[in-house]
Every structure is written in structure tokens, then in C-alpha cells.
A and B are shown apart, each in its own frame.
Chain A
Amino acid sequence: MRIFDPHIHMASRTTDDYEAMYAAGVRAVVEPSFWLGQPRTSPASFRDYFDALLGWEPFRAAQYGIAHHCTIALNPKEANDPRCVPVLEELPGYLVKDGVVAVGETGYDSMTAAEDSALAAQLQLAADHGLPALVHTPHRDKLAGLRRTLDVVRESALPADRVLVDHLNETTVKEAKDSGAWLGFSVYPDTKMDEKRMVAVLREYGPERVLVNSAADWGRSDPLKTRRVADLMLAEGFTEDDVDRVLWRNPVAFYGLSGRLALDVAPPGPTHEGNSVLRGGE
């Protein structure tokens, strides 16, 4: 079984996770840029983060046989912080990079005017750079947030079929599907979606344009949730082809819209005993 996790924050995860993910079948990930849990206070802090997503993290992933790409954006939460907003001016310099396969995560957190303008500006950046966009939907007031998101997408230069609307659930999937956007579901231990609900959604709405991710980060989350969904799909009567479609071909098709996916992994440098992610003392 081959798995593509289209949304996972590997900067927060350990090499044990990479090892377990590879063993579970994960061969490719996309790491969207997001909030760090601790607020940033300047664009320089974003730059260091983006550089890690384009250097150190793909290097780490390659040591474990996993292809790593990223999406770049000012996230919705920090779009509200005037100290962070100037990073928008630096995004074009990153959006030309080979490892960047979308603009994201952009979207709404608290549905403020500042989030409105950051979302609209970043959808335009995606259109300008030939990239699709990963749009986060809010965790609070989700249905209203989804509707406002879809309105902004409709008004943008980016067609809906180049937009992945993420963190969907039973209450938002229908309107998102009707919009023509790609449909992202984050499967979590407690919150967002779980495996059973995910399989029920797949049964009701079908596997077309559906992507399933773990969205694993620094909070309570599980980088193997993609595999759990795949296993439950098979147990509940979906075919191996359905599983491959949802967990591999759909994310490849969506991020492939960038023209920048490179899924063959060659470790970028020599390794030490198969693992050069070493620390002092080793």
C-alpha cells in the first residue's frame, strides 16, 4: 500500500515518526506552513521556518525514503498580527522554489477583515505563480467559515478546481463538493474527523477529489491516521483501487497541478549507517 499524506507538520515530529510512517506505507508528504503553537514576532522567523521546509525537512524525510514537499503562506491566525503580515511581501521569493507545490495554509481562523485580505492576496499569488492553493477552514463557526471561504475563492483569479478546502466534516462536505474544489479531511485522535466518520463520508460522497490527511503536528495527533483510514476502508468493503485513489492518486493529482512534484526519493547526501540525522555525541 502506498500512502501520500497531503497535510502533515513534520517539523514537529521525530525521526521515529518518519520510520513508523515509512513502515505503514507513507512514501510522500506535503508539509503546509502553519502556526508554530508559539506566536512568531517577525517575518524573519517565518523565513527560517520556510527555509527549514525547503532544506532540512526534505533532507530528514529522504533519510527515511519519504518524498517531502511543502506549501508556503502566511497562516490565518498570524494574518491578524501586524508584526507578521509583512511576510506577504516575501512570499513571491519562495513561491518560485522547486519544493513548493501550493500556496497554503491560507483561509480563516476567526473570520476577520485581516484574514479576508490575506486570503484574497494569497489566492492571487497562487494564480500568479501557477500554483494550486490549500485553504484551511476554521475550527470554530465552520459552516459559515466554509461559505465565506468559497465566496472568496469564487471572486478570486484561481479556479475552484485548483483549490483544496481542508478540515472538512459532515457539515461542510456537501457545499465544498458542490463548489468544485478538492476535499480535504483531517483525521485526528479526538477532534476533527475520525476513521469511522471518514469512511462514512466516503461511502456517502464517493472518493472523487477526496484527500485524507493526518494533519499531525505539535498537538495531540497521529501521523499514522492515513493508514488507519486505509485499513478501515478495506475492512468496510472499499477496494484496493479506492484506497489507492484516495490515499495516493488524488493527492498526486492535486499537488501535481503545480508541475513540481518529484516523487522519486534519493537521499540528498551520503548517509552514516543509513542515518545521517545525527546529533553531537553520536
Chain B
Amino acid sequence: MLITREELLARLSPEGADWLDLALAEAQEATRRAPGAPPEPGAPGWQLRFAAAGRACGPQAAEAARVLLLRTACPDAAAVARLYERGTGAERRAVLLALPDLPLAPDEGVPLVEDALRTNDTGLIAAAVGPYAAAHLDAHAWRHAILKCLFTGVPVATAEVADRARGDRELARMLGDFAAERTAAGRPVPDDLDRVLALTAEGA
């Protein structure tokens, strides 16, 4: 997901690449505003480009472009929350994916992850359960996030899940109960469940 500006530019049409160069320049400019300066009227230019990335870069490259814009502009917590709350599904995913690289305190970033985990949009859930969630969700919320991924078919056999699942007996119990419920209903147990369950037994 964390692709560089050069990798992204190589994927874009000449017009898309020109657009991205201008957008990133505007995002860079936003970081030079004096701290505490009064907000300028209207949304900053880079935020308008954040909204327009799909039509400018194409739906496939838009997510990487948005993440790059966020990492470049480094918006404060209030701006990040606003971009998320007023964002489309695609924009919200980009905010969630950028969280590890933004200067937010855990109590500023975690509520966005929790919001995404309350949805049933698997695109949002998948973007929410990444390194930021692994680092900052408390144990209860983290275990429920893993269970929700398995429940909705979001892949969870990722490195950060592996690290945090090791030796987690309560997670093992929850996974076992979920597997039993699925089996009782005559429904298949997700493949990822066994992988995570095996990790919980390690170092236990």
C-alpha cells in the first residue's frame, strides 16, 4: 500500500501525473503554514484534490494518490477527523490507511478506526485493521476486530495480526467458539481462522 511518489507516477497517464505533481505541491505548501495561523476560508486546495483523485488518477490509483497526499500534507487531528467524517467510502479508506504516518495521538486516531469497525463495509473494515489498529486498539477491541474480519471475510493473516495474536488465549477461545458455531450451522469455517488460531498457540 505504501507506494512511493515515483511508483505512483509511473502508473498514471501524463495528465494524471501532472495532476498529482500539482496536488502534492499543494499538499507540501499546506505544511508550511505557520502553526496557529487562522484557517483560510474554504477547503485547502490539496483537500479538493483529495476528493477528486478518482476522476483524476482513475479508480485504481486513487487510493494510493490519496494516501500520498495525506502523508505529504500531514494534516492535524481536526482536519483528519473532518476528512474522514465528511469523506466518501474511498476517502475514508485512504484516511484509515494513512493513520500510521499521521501525527495523531492514539485518542485522536482510534475513534476513526472504531467508527470503521462499526460498519459492514468490508473495504472500510479491511483498511481499519492494519498496523495502526494493531498498535493502538485495546485487547478487547482488537480481538473483536479480528473476529469481525473473519465474520465478514476480510483477510486477517497479516504480519501485524500474527505479531499480536501470539499467545492470546482469550482470542483463541473466541475463535474456537466462532468455529463451533459455524460448524453447528453446517457452514464452512474461514481458512484464516485456523491460521490465526495456530498463532495463538505459539508462545502460549
Chain B residue at minimal CB-CB distance from A70: B88
- Contact-residue bracket for chain A: 20 to 34
Task: Tell me, rounded to whole Å, the shortest Cβ–Cβ distance linking A64 to chain B.
Answer: 14
Q: Return the contact of A93 from the options B86, B120, B152 (Cβ within 8 A).
A: B86
B88 touches A271 (CB 8 A): no
Residues of A within 8 A of B126 (CB): 269-270
Q: Could you tell me if B55 and A56 are in contact, using CB atoms closer than 8 angstroms?
A: no
Number of interface residues of B (CB under 8 A): 29
Of A1-9, A197-205, A228-236, A259-267, which binds chain B? Answer: A259-267
In the complex, A23 Cα to B161 Cα: how many Å?
A: 39
User: Is B153 touching A59 in the complex (CB atoms < 8 A)?
Assistant: no
Does B172 reach chain A (CB closer than 8 Å)? no
Chain A, Cβ-Cβ closest to B149: A270
CB <8 Å contact, B52 and A278: no
Residues of A within 8 Å of B152, CB to CB, are: 272, 276, 278
Query: A266–B120 Cα gap in the complex (Å)?
Result: 17
Interface SS, A side: loop
> At the interface, yes or no: A97 with Cβ under 8 Å from chain B?
yes
Is B89 touching A97 in the complex (CB atoms < 8 A)?
no
Pair B89/A271 contact, Cβ less than 8 Å: no
Decide if B153 touches A96 in the complex (CB within 8 Å).
no
Within 8 Å by CB of B55, from A259, A266, A278, lies A259
Contact call A276/B51, Cβ cutoff below 8 A? no
Residue interface bits B45-62, CB-to-A below 8 A is 1, else 0: 000100111110001001
Give the nearest-CB partner of A278 in chain B: B152
Is residue A55 within 8 Å, beta carbon to beta carbon, of the partner chain? Answer: yes
CB distance from A46 to the nearest CB of B (A): 12
Closest to B53 in A: A98
Residue pairs across A and B with Cβ atoms less than 8 A apart, 9 shown, are A47-B86, A55-B88, A58-B89, A98-B54, A268-B89, A269-B124, A271-B153, A272-B152, A278-B152
Given contacts A98-B88, A259-B55, A270-B155, 5 further A-B pairs with CB under 8 A are A54-B88, A97-B88, A98-B62, A99-B54, A264-B59
A-B CB proximity, top 9 nearest:
A272-B153, A269-B123, A98-B54, A269-B122, A55-B89, A268-B123, A54-B88, A276-B122, A96-B51
Residues of B within 8 A of A (CB): 43, 48, 51-55, 59, 62, 86, 88-93, 119-126, 151-155
